[in-house]
Amino acid sequence: MKQQILPNEIYIAGDYKSKKKLGMTDHRKQFELTFTGNPLLRSQVQVVDYGTHVYSHDNSIETNWEETKIVDGVVVWKKSGNIPFADMLLDFVQLGAITLGVAHMSAEQKDIEQSASLEHLMVNDRGEICLAAEAFKVSEARAEK
């Protein structure tokens, strides 16, 4: 994969997204900013030695990418079939895993599905507003592909 570093602000699926300086990218070394605030590569994940134990949590974009697949031209999580949020999609572009076009198409499809799921709002037996099972059929079908 060839990394493609995007500008600090980008328009996707009707909204502007900005890079964040959060999480472990804010420590030790100066890494390329990401939209999620997570390190882009595994090698950038911070390891902290507390003397009694070593702490490291690999929340890198590279590791997250391994949990996805492309189904019908959109990026989805392997386990759920749901489309990742736009910030994550943009970081996948920076990683070089997908094109900006795939990110746009995925983000727009996510918006369409979220709007459509509102048709399945219901009130359950306890008086709580929730989504009926029909709202999840599209993502469940993608997870099975």
Q: What share of the chain has pLDDT > 90, as a percent?
A: 46
Instruction: Tell me the pLDDT band of 65, cut-offs 50, 70 and 90.
Output: very high
Residue 131 lies in a domain: no
Residue 144 lies in a domain: no
Residue 106 lies in a domain: yes
Q: What is the pLDDT of residue 20?
A: 79
Q: Which residue would you say has higher pLDDT here, 26 or 94? A: 94
Residue 1 lies in a domain: no
Residue 25 lies in a domain: yes
Residue 53 lies in a domain: yes
Note the pLDDT tens digit of each residue in 30-47. 577 899 988 888 888 877
Residue 129 lies in a domain: no
Q: Which residue would you say has higher pLDDT here, 69 or 145? A: 69
Q: How far apart are CA 75 and CA 106, in angstroms?
A: 6
Residue 102 lies in a domain: yes
Note the pLDDT tens digit of each residue in 67-115. 999 999 999 999 999 999 999 999 999 999 999 999 999 999 999 888 8
Instruction: Tell me the pLDDT band of 49, cut-offs 50, 70 and 90.
Output: confident
Residue-range definition of the domain harbouring residue 72 = 9-116
Q: What is the pLDDT of residue 51?
A: 79
User: For the chain, what is the domain count?
Assistant: 1
Q: How far apart are CA 137 and CA 93, in angstroms?
A: 27
Q: What share of the chain has pLDDT > 70, as a percent?
A: 93
Q: How far apart are CA 92 and CA 88, in angstroms?
A: 6
